[in-house]
């Protein structure tokens, strides 16, 4: 079975520094892949490359059999890739409800949207997602006044509203309380039944909880891949990553 | 339509008195209705032709402020070159009106003859016929906006950069129109000798007919603009204003949205340009002057760029004040205007509208003093 | 189209370039260091011209001394402007653009109320009003003075920005305000100084333009847009502005030679728009914002 997302021999340099160096990855549909690695390993850059925020120097990315290398951000999003940013990015001047409405982007054509005043199914979807994210009582508030944790939830909810086939979550639990982290883990495991996820996370406890596959990046290359047990047993990983964590 | 909106609003409004009526959609439609009813009452109470003509020009300025509010207030695209669409529309209209007075024996307008051109240049051909002339007068500026906008937004030129580019483009048009005397009349522009003729009907600039034409154009433009802001398109546009980068990752082609709102705004300005010439029977490069284009932004800013209605009111107040004081006090007036503009930009980003918003907010709060402490409806549940 | 007149056009181009450059220098400093789009720049140029006029007319200061004096006067005005208004708007570029336009309205109308709309003239020493003949080309002495002053200012600015402590601090603030702050650089002070410096340069430009043209309240208006395009095309760096001005000055002169002056300006505007379309960050700037 071919992967939903296939990255092959991806390279990206900024000026002369190679940030991503011959990185390949295959993500199977319906799995939750955790992308881990020390700070500066290139995880966020990889997400930037997948979502078209930056263009690769060389290499190829295919999604659902389609070549999306170097495509525009919106085209990639429409193809079915949703993303949560490392630094939570929500529309701060808009209300939570408006944030979710915008994210429900089934119709993206400007001319169609000029004549649309009611979006079928939107209210129901907002109800469903906001209940899941515990944001119902905040729907009328401006997103800019939300707490850090709530902002994280809002952005995750926006990705859910998009109903993507592949979700990229860059450090989704940063700034969350223990309880919220548990809940996130529950929701992610639930989501895996219907979608595919790539989650970047430093918290190994959380990774242990949710991951089907763990991919370790180091200096822009793929260091190891496998189940968490395999990864933890890998001596190279221990030296560059887990060792570092224990030392810290 | 008026009756329907107000009838509906009475019902809903009494139920939802909590919150600021400024943000209530129904209340907004009522305010717009009242505003236009007031404007519609003017011709019945004014019999000074000159004043009516002047009020019609204010209507044109109102349309320009509206177009800026739509593009800048809602779309976040600061356009300092709205004079391009306005000016090109105005030139198109002036050319059409000029050609209406040319006859078969005398097909070439005097501006060409005076500049040593004894045939009608290609540029003027579409304007020989009134219908095609009007279509071109509105179509060319709109097309320009669509193409220029597309090129710029596709290259992700935005913010202050876009503002500078529009300024540069405006200056380019200004200089070329100034330069091509034989085609445009140069610095003197075009002064069509007689009013606009539509079929057998003549729209005398000093008649109520001219006022009503402007009135309905402003009404239609306002309703369309208001509907746009309330549509899904409007929401996405506001999202783009907030964080364009983020919206791309939701699947929207930001450049298409930006181009569309910029073009619609340009279309409104082009129509305003046509109406302006209909009302004043004159056009010159001054309509593409940088100062005028920035004035449009000032009208919208002082009135309140986020509110279509207040942007229009801003134009009325400023242009009204300017002509009320007359040329003798022009410098003093502009001095005060400049100072006020600085204050607005620094302290009142939403202009006079924010004062109204705050006032209405206070009014709405007072009678609800008791229930204010305990918001009605859903009680927030602590998430922990 | 003989060789001599082409050369003449090229030399005239240098002269045009120097005018654009000196008009743009102050803007470059302010835009480059603080990212402020100062629409009041034209008004500051005008104030420079009026300062020189007042000094000359009421006190009888010799013209050559009026130039540095205008620098000081307009720099002080710039300082007041920065402290009173601009410093609150640094993180709102569009608002600075608009607010400074308001400032320009106030300044222009204020001057008009005080001095009226009739033109004033600046007198220059006898030797400046002659022509220099280079055999194949003719150029007025004063234009040579403008070129010389421009060259001197560019050199002085280059030394200031690349050879002094102040320059290092400015460049540190430009690159990263927070980082600079952690090294003990007071960015607010740096912004204030650069704004005053930029305004002072506008003053110098004004005292020169007052001789090239007549002194009017609106005399600065025509320079702003063009000067801005130089700055933006140059990417906000000193070298960029020098190159952009040089290119456009020459191009304008050559186009004006082939067609006429107005048409040449049209072509320049179009070319700049096209250039910026493909290089929105200008000649030398690097792109890319981190998220
Ligand atoms: N635009 C850029 N220009 C230059 N270098 C960059 C750029 N973007 C990223 N880098 C560099 O690329 C490397 C990888 O960065 P990236 O943000 O992908 O790391 P990461 O794995 O997400 O780290 P973290 O866990 O801290 O989020 C870093 O060394 C960073 O400095
Ligand atoms: Mg990262």
CA dihedral sign, ordered B102, B106, B108, B112: negative
Q: Where are the alpha helices (DSSP H) in chain A?
A: 43-50, 73-79, 96-103, 110-114, 122-133, 148-162, 178-191, 204-210, 228-233, 235-237, 243-247
Rounded mean pLDDT, B349-373: 74
Ligand 1 atom having least distance to the Cα of A171: 27
CB atoms within 10 A of CB B261: 29
B289 pLDDT band, cuts 50/70/90, is very high
Q: How far apart are CA A50 and CA B352, in angstroms?
A: 46
Identify all chain A residues contacting C287, using CB atoms and an 8 Å cutoff. none
pLDDT in tens, A30-67: 899 999 988 888 999 999 999 999 999 999 999 998 99
The answer, for B366 touching chain C at a CB cutoff of 8 Å, is no
Residue A140's CB is within 10 A of a number of other CB atoms, namely 13
What is the tens place of the pLDDT at every residue in B256-265? 999 999 999 9
Atom of ligand 1 nearest to the CA of A45: 18
- Is position C291 within any domain? no
Return the top range by mean pLDDT from A146-160, B54-68, B107-121: B54-68
Q: What is the DSSP letter of C36?
A: -
- Closest ligand 1 atom number to CA of residue C290: 1
Instruction: Say if CB B189 and CB B282 are below 8 A apart.
Output: yes
Instruction: Return the biggest CA–CA distance within chain B.
Output: 88
CB-based contact, A85 to chain C, within 8 Å: yes
State the helix-helix crossing angle for B232-248 and B208-230, rounded to 10 degrees.
50
Write out residues 99-118 of C within 8 Å (CB-CB) of B.
99, 101-106, 108-110, 112-113
Residues whose CB is less than 8 angstroms from the CB of residue A211 and which lie 6 or more positions away in sequence, other chains included: A32, A33, A34, A199, A227, A228
Separation CA B317–CA B315 (nearest Å): 6
pLDDT recorded at residue B373: 40
Task: Please give the residue of chain B at the shortest CA–CA distance from A153.
Answer: B383
Write out chain C residues lying below 8 Å of B165, CB-based: 273, 276-277
Is the predicted pLDDT of residue B162 greater than 70, yes or no?
A: yes
The C-alpha angle with vertex C227 and arms to C223 and C228, in degrees rounded to 5, equals: 120
Give the closest ligand to the alpha carbon of residue A220: 1
Q: Which of B285-289, C43-47, C114-118, C233-237 has the lowest mean pLDDT?
A: C233-237
Residue-wise DSSP of C223-276 = HHHHHHHHHHHTTT-HHHHHHHHHHHHHHHHHHHHHS-HHHHHHHHHHHHHHHH
How many structural domains are present in chain A? 1
Structure tokens at C222: 């025509």
Taking residue B262's Cβ as centre, other Cβ atoms within 10 Å add up to: 27
**Residues in chain C closer than 8 A to A89 (CB atoms):** 291
Distance (angstroms) between ligand 2 centre and the Cα of A85 equals 9
Percent of chain C surpassing pLDDT 90: 43
Measure the CA–CA gap between A83 and A171, rounded to whole angstroms: 11
- Ligand with smallest separation from the Cα of A38: 1
Domains of chain B, with CATH numbers? 2-320+352-364 (1.10.3470)
Tokens encoding A12: 């990206």
Ligand 1 within 6 A of CB of A41: yes
CATH of the domain at C169: 1.10.3470
Q: Output the CA A46–ligand 2 centroid distance in Å.
A: 9
- DSSP secondary structure of B153-178: HHTT--HHHHHHHHHHHHHHHHHHHH
Structure tokens at A193: 């039944």
Residue A40 to residue A38: CA distance in whole angstroms: 6
B249 contacts in chain A (CB < 8 Å): 51, 53, 73-74, 77, 82-83
Distances B141 to B21, B83, B138, B148, B173 between C-alpha atoms, Å: 38, 10, 6, 10, 12
Reported as a single tens digit per residue, the pLDDT across C13-29 is 888 899 999 999 999 99
- Is A157 touching B (CB cutoff 8 A)? no
Rounded to whole angstroms, how far apart are CA atoms B280 and B57?
Answer: 8
Q: Is B238 on the interface with A (CB under 8 A)?
A: yes
Shortest CA gap C127–chain B (Å): 35
- The structure tokens listed for A181 are 């982290």
> First CA to last CA across chain C, in angstroms?
55
Q: Is B331 on the interface with C (CB under 8 A)?
A: yes
Distance separating alpha carbons of residues B204 and B181, to the nearest angstrom: 28
Residues in contact with B18: Cβ distance below 8 Å, sequence separation at least 6, in sequence order: B364, B368, B371, B376
Q: What integer pLDDT is reported at residue B384 of this predicted model? A: 34
Least confident of A159-168, A236-245, C281-290: C281-290
Count other C-beta atoms under 10 Å from residue B199's C-beta. 6
More confident: C237 or C111: C111
Q: Which atom of ligand 1 is nearest to the CA of A86?
A: 27
What confidence tens digit (pLDDT) does each residue in A167-193 have?
A: 999 999 888 888 888 988 988 988 888
Q: Which residues of chain A are within 8 Å of residue B228 when distances are taken between CB atoms?
A: 114
A49 within ligand 1 shell (Cβ under 6 A): no
Residue B88 and residue B190: Cα distance in Å, rounded? 12
What is the spatial distance between Cα B235 and Cα B229, in angstroms, rounded to a whole number?
A: 7
Q: Is the CB of A44 under 6 A from ligand 1?
A: yes
- How many Cβ contacts (< 8 angstroms) between chains A and C? 5
Our answer on whether the CB atom of A86 is closer than 6 Å to any ligand 1 atom is yes
Q: What is the pLDDT of residue C192?
A: 93
- Give C290's contacts in chain A (Cβ within 8 Å): none
Distance C240 CA to ligand 1 centre (A): 29
| Ligand 2 geometric centre to CA of A43 (Å) | 5
pLDDT tens digits along C211-270: 988 899 999 888 888 888 888 888 888 899 999 999 999 988 888 888 888 888 888 888
B289 Cβ contact list (under 8 Å, min separation 6): B83, B174
Chain B residue with minimum CA distance to C289: B245
Cβ distance B175 to C270 less than 8 Å, yes or no, reads no
Smallest Cβ distance to B335: which of C113, C260, C266?
A: C113
In whole angstroms, give the CA distance from residue A237 to residue A231: 7
A82 is in which domain, residue-wise? 5-247
Token pair 């970047």 is found at A200
Interface check C291 vs A, CB under 8 A: yes
Residue-level pLDDT at C246: 93
pTM summary value: 0.90
Q: What is the three-class DSSP state of A51?
A: coil
C105 occurs within a structural domain: yes
pLDDT above 70 for C107: yes
Q: Which residues of C touch B157 (CB under 8 A)?
A: 276-277, 280
Query: Tokens standing for C242?
Result: 């020098």
Predicted local distance difference test score (pLDDT) of residue C289: 40
* pLDDT, greater one: C140 or B294: B294
Give the integer Cα–Cα distance in Å for B312 and B218.
9
Q: Provide the number of structural domains found in chain C.
A: 1
Ligand 1 in contact with A87 (CB < 6 A)?
Answer: no
Residue of higher predicted confidence among C259 and B148: B148
- Cα B31 from Cα C244, distance rounded (Å): 51
Nearest-CA residue for ligand 1 atom 28 is: A40
pLDDT band at B369 (very low <50, low <70, confident <90, very high): very low
Per-residue model confidence as pLDDT tens digits over B198-251: 888 889 999 999 999 999 999 999 999 999 999 999 999 999 999 999 999 999
- List residues bridging with A67 in a β-sheet: A62
Q: Between vectors from CA B161 to CA B159 and to CA B167, what angle results, nearest 5°? A: 110
Q: Which residues lie closer than 8 Å to A26 by C-beta, 6 or more apart?
A: A3, A5, A6, A7
- Enter the ipTM: 0.91
Distance, CA of C83 to chain centre: 21
CB distance A41 to A217 below 8 Å: yes
Ligand 1 proximity of A42 Cβ (cutoff 6 Å): yes
Position C101 confidence tier, pLDDT thresholds 50, 70, 90: very high
- The CA distance from C170 to C180, in Å, is 9
What is the average pLDDT score of chain C? 87
| Pocket mutation for ligand 1, best pick of A37, A40, A47 (most atoms within 8 Å of C-beta) | A40
User: pLDDT tens for residues C65-87?
Assistant: 999 999 999 999 999 999 999 99
The yes-or-no verdict on residue B18 having pLDDT over 90 is no
pLDDT at B383 over 80: no
Domain residues for the domain of C25 are 3-278
Q: What is the pLDDT of residue C1?
A: 56
Short-list A75, A94, A82, A198, CA closest to A139: A94
Q: How confident is the model at residue C290 (pLDDT cuts 50, 70, 90)?
A: very low
CB A81 within 8 A of CB A53: no
Mutate to test the interface with B, among C42, C91, C106, C270 (most CBs of B within 10 A): C106
CB contacts of A110 in chain B (<8 Å) are: 233, 236, 253, 256-257, 260
Neighbours of C286 (CB within 10 A): 7
Probe ligand 1: pick from A43, A168, A216, max atoms within 8 Å of CB?
A: A43
Contact B175 C102 (CB under 8 A): no
Q: pLDDT digits over A88-117, tens only?
A: 899 999 999 999 999 998 889 999 999 989
Query: CA-to-CA distance for C222 and C249, rounded, in angstroms?
Result: 16
- Say yes or no to pLDDT of B10 above 70: no
Taking an 8 Å cut-off on Cβ atoms, the answer to whether B78 and C260 are in contact is: no
Token duo for residue A3? 């992967």
DSSP state of C137: -
Query: Is the CB of residue C290 less than 8 Å away from at least one CB of chain A?
Result: no
- The nearest CA of chain C is from the CA of B325 a distance in Å of 15
Residue ranges of the alpha helices (H) in chain C?
3-34, 41-54, 63-84, 93-115, 141-163, 165-175, 177-182, 187-212, 221-233, 238-258, 261-278
Q: Which two tokens stand for residue A220?
A: 């822009």
Tally of residues, chain C: 291
Ligand with an atom nearest the CA of residue A21? 1
Residue A80 belongs to domain with CATH number: 3.40.50.300
Sort A208 into a burial class: Cβ within 10 Å, 0-12 / 13-18 / 19+: middle
Q: From the CA of A40, which ligand is nearest?
A: 1
């Amino acid at each position: 079975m071919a992967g939903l997302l296939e990255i092959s021999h991806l390279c990206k340099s900024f000026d002369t520094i190679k940030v991503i160096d011959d990185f390949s990855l295959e993500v199977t549909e319906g799995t939750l892949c955790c992308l881990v690695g020390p700070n500066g390993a290139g995880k966020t850059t990889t997400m930037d490359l997948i979502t078209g925020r930056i263009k690769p120097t060389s290499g190829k990315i295919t999604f659902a059999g389609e070549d999306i290398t170097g495509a525009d951000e919106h085209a990639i999003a429409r193809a079915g890739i949703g993303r949560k940013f490392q630094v939570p990015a929500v529309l701060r001047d808009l209300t939570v409800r408006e944030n979710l409405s915008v994210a429900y982007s089934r119709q993206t054509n400007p001319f169609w949207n000029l004549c649309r005043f009611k979006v079928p199914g939107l209210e129901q979807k907002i109800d469903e997602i906001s209940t899941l994210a515990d944001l119902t009582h905040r729907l009328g508030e401006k997103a800019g006044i939300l707490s850090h944790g709530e902002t994280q939830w809002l952005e995750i909810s926006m990705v859910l509203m998009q109903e993507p086939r592949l979700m990229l979550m860059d450090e989704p639990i940063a700034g969350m309380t223990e309880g919220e982290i548990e809940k996130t883990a529950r929701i992610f495991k639930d989501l895996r039944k219907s979608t595919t996820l790539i989650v970047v996370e430093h918290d190994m406890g959380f990774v242990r909880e949710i991951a089907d596959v763990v991919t370790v990046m180091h200096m822009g290359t793929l260091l190891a891949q496998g189940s968490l047990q395999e990864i933890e047993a890998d001596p190279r990983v221990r030296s560059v990553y887990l060792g570092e964590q224990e030392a810290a | 339509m008026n009756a329907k909106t107000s009838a509906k609003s009475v019902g809903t409004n009494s139920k939802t008195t909590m919150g600021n009526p400024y943000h209530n959609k129904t209340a907004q439609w009522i305010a717009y209705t009242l505003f236009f009813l007031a404007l519609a009452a003017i011709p019945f109470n004014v019999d000074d032709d000159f004043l009516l003509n002047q009020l019609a020009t204010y209507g044109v300025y109102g349309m320009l402020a509206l177009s800026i509010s739509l593009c800048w207030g809602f779309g976040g695209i600061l356009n300092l070159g709205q004079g391009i669409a306005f000016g090109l529309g105005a030139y198109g209209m002036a050319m059409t009106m000029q050609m209406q007075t040319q006859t078969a024996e005398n097909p070439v307008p005097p501006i060409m003859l005076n500049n040593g051109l004894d045939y009608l240049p290609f540029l003027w051909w579409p304007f020989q016929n009134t219908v095609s002339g009007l279509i071109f007068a509105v179509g060319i500026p709109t097309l320009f906006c669509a193409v220029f906008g597309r090129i710029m937004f596709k290259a992700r030129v935005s913010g202050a950069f876009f503002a500078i580019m529009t300024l540069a483009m405006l200056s380019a048009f200004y200089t070329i129109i100034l330069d091509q005397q034989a085609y445009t009349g140069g610095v003197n522009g075009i002064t069509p000798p007689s009013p606009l003729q539509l079929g057998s009907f003549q729209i005398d600039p000093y008649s109520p007919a001219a006022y009503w034409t402007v009135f309905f154009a402003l009404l239609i433009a306002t309703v369309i603009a208001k509907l746009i802001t309330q549509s899904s398109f409007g929401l996405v546009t506001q999202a783009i204003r907030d964080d364009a980068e983020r919206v791309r990752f939701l699947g929207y082609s930001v450049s298409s949205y930006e181009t569309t709102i910029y073009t619609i705004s340009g279309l409104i300005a082009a129509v305003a340009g046509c109406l302006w010439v209909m009302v004043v029977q004159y056009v010159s490069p001054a309509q593409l002057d940088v100062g005028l284009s920035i004035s449009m932004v000032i009208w919208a800013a002082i009135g309140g760029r986020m509110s279509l209605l207040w942007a229009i009111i801003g134009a009325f107040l400023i242009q009204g004040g300017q002509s009320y004081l007359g040329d003798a006090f022009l410098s003093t007036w502009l001095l005060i205007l400049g100072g006020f503009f600085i204050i607005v930009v620094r302290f009142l980003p939403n202009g006079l509208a924010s004062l109204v918003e705050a006032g209405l907010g206070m009014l709405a709060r007072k009678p609800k003093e008791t229930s204010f402490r305990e918001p009605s409806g859903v009680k927030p549940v602590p998430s922990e | 189209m003989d060789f001599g007149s082409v050369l003449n056009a090229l030399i005239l181009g240098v002269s045009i370039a120097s005018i654009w450059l000196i008009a743009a220098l102050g803007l470059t400093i302010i835009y480059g260091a603080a990212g402020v789009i100062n629409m009041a720049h034209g008004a500051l140029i005008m104030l420079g011209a009026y300062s020189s006029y007042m000094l000359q007319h009421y006190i009888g200061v010799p013209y050559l001394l009026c130039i540095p004096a205008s620098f000081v006067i307009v720099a002080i005005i710039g300082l007041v402007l920065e402290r009173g208004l601009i410093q609150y708007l640094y993180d709102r570029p569009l608002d600075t653009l608009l607010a400074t336009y308001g400032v320009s309205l106030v300044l222009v109308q204020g001057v008009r109320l005080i001095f009226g709309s009739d033109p004033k003239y600046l007198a220059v020493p006898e030797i400046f009003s002659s022509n220099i003949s280079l055999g194949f080309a003719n150029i007025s002495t004063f234009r040579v003075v403008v070129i010389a002053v421009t060259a001197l200012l560019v050199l002085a600015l280059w030394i200031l920005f690349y050879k002094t402590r102040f320059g290092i601090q400015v460049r540190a603030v430009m690159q990263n305000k927070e980082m600079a702050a952690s090294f003990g650089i007071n960015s607010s002070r740096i912004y204030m100084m650069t704004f005053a410096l930029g305004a002072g340069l506008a003053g110098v430009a004004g005292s020169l333009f007052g001789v090239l043209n007549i002194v009017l309240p609106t005399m600065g208006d025509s320079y702003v847009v063009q000067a801005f395009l130089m700055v933006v095309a140059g990417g906000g760096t000193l070298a960029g502005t020098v190159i952009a001005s040089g290119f456009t000055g020459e191009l304008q002169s050559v186009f004006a030679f082939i067609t006429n002056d107005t048409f040449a300006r049209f072509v320049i505007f179009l070319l700049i728009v096209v250039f910026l379309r493909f290089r929105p960050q200008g000649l030398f700037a690097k792109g890319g914002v981190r998220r």
